[in-house]
Amino acid sequence: MKVLLQRVSRADVRVDGSVTGRTGPGFLILVGIGRNDTEADLEWMAAKLVNLRVFPDEAGNMNRSILDTGGGILAVSQFTLHADCSRGRRPSFIGAGDPSTASALFDLFVRRLRDLGPEVQTGVFGASMEVSLVNDGPVTIMLDSPSEASCRRQDRQP
């Protein structure tokens, strides 16, 4: 599982011109479900996201989590995070999860995030979406679940 997190002042996602999700201060997360992802990856990632201290405290240091600030999360499915551009000129998406499995895991991930406290809105899985955001900081962080990191380490082995 890959998540590209952006700390935002505001963000929204539109499908066919209609807003399907938005947030004020908080996170826009682009979520790529991989072919080997499990519920354990979802649990790990959800806990990591809500506890990640990337919001400023009174001294301006990144010391507060989204739970501390009461911010929201806009979650957008993004299979292209699994693009492999190592060969040729066209990306391969072989590492992305099967759409039906990935959709179910994405929905489960969103439910888990909500269970942990923040308000979470979403785009529409598999739709062509327009995402608008105002990056705050800017703060942009790439997160890989343990199984994703493990796959990369195995790929590097001789």
pLDDT digits (tens, 9 = 90+) for 31-82: 999 999 999 999 999 999 999 999 999 999 999 999 999 999 999 999 999 9
What's the longest Cα–Cα distance across the chain? 49
d(CA 128, CA 92): 19
Q: Which two tokens stand for residue 158?
A: 């001789």
What fold, for 2-156?
D-tyrosyl-trna(Tyr) Deacylase; Chain: A; (3.50.80)
Q: What is the model's pTM?
A: 0.92
Say how far apart CA 158 and CA 49 lie, in whole Å.
Answer: 33
Rounded to 5°, the CA angle 58-63-69 comes to 75
Summarize pLDDT for 77-121 with one digit per residue, the tens. 999 999 999 999 999 999 999 999 999 999 999 999 999 999 999
Q: How far is the C-alpha of 21 from the C-alpha of 112, rounded, in Å?
A: 17
Task: Give the separation between CA 40 and CA 8, rounded to whole angstroms.
Answer: 27
- Catalytic sites, residue numbers: 78-80
Per-residue pLDDT, 150: 60
Whole-angstrom distance, CA of residue 79 vs CA of residue 30: 9
Q: What is the DSSP string of 121-133?
A: EE--TTS--EEEE
The Cα–Cα gap between 31 and 82 comes to 10
pLDDT interval class at 156 (50, 70, 90): very low
In the predicted structure, residue 154 carries a pLDDT above the cut 70: no
Question: Pairing state of beta strands 130-144 and 120-122?
Answer: unpaired
| Alpha carbon distance 102, 114 (integer Å) | 18
For 144, the token pair is 């890989």
In this prediction, residues 1-12 reach a mean pLDDT of: 98
